């Protein structure tokens, strides 16, 4: 029940296309859903995050879509660029204290072809 399942494991998209990465969770107490971007040799960097009071959040070319009833959330990268090639992690947490610790998906390696 504490898991966050992320798919696909890897994704190849043409430049200019839309990249979509999906995550699903079981624990309805989760109330914070961030996405991280990681380039080779670097630490994960917080990209964008959403809380369940909204169904969508957009920052530039990156959009999180959240479906509370389906217990799913997804990252959409519009007009994907070769510089977006990285590994993306979704995560979830609930409440404060140790419950605020993040539960991570296993990651999606995105390759954007020129």
Partner 1 sequence: DAGITQSPRHKVTETGTPVTLRCHQTENHRYMYWYRQDPGHGLRLIHYSYGVKDTDKGEVSDGYSVSRSKTEDFLLTLESATSSQTSVYFCAIRDLLRAQYFGPGTRLTVL
Tell me phi and psi for residue 18, to 5 degrees.
-105, 125
Does residue 66 bind partner 1 (CB under 8 A)? no
Establish if 105 lies at the interface with partner 1 (CB under 8 A).
yes
Nearest distance, CB of residue 16 and partner 1, angstroms: 29
Angle at 65 between CA 78 and CA 81, to 5 degrees: 15
Q: Give the whole-angstrom CA distance, residue 81 versus residue 17.
A: 8
Binding-residue pattern over the window 73 to 102 for partner 1, x denoting contact by CB under 8 A:
----------------x---x--xxx-xxx
| 82 CB burial (10 A radius; 0-12, 13-18, 19+) | exposed
Contacts of partner 1 in 6-35 (CB under 8 A): 32, 34
- Which chain residues interact with partner 1 by CB under 8 A? 32, 34, 36, 41-46, 49, 89, 93, 96-98, 100-102, 104-107
């Amino acid at each position: 029940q504490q898991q966050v399942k992320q798919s696909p494991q890897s994704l190849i998209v043409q430049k200019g296309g839309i990249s979509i990465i999906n995550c699903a969770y079981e624990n309805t107490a989760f109330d914070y859903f961030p996405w991280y971007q990681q380039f080779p040799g670097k630490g994960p960097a917080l990209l964008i995050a959403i809380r369940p009071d909204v169904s969508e959040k957009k920052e530039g070319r990156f959009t999180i879509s959240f479906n509370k009833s389906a217990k799913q959330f997804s990252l959409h990268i519009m007009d994907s660029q070769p510089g977006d090639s990285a590994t993306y992690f979704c995560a979830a947490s609930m409440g404060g204290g140790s419950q605020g610790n993040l539960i991570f998906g296993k990651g999606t390696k995105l390759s954007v072809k020129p």
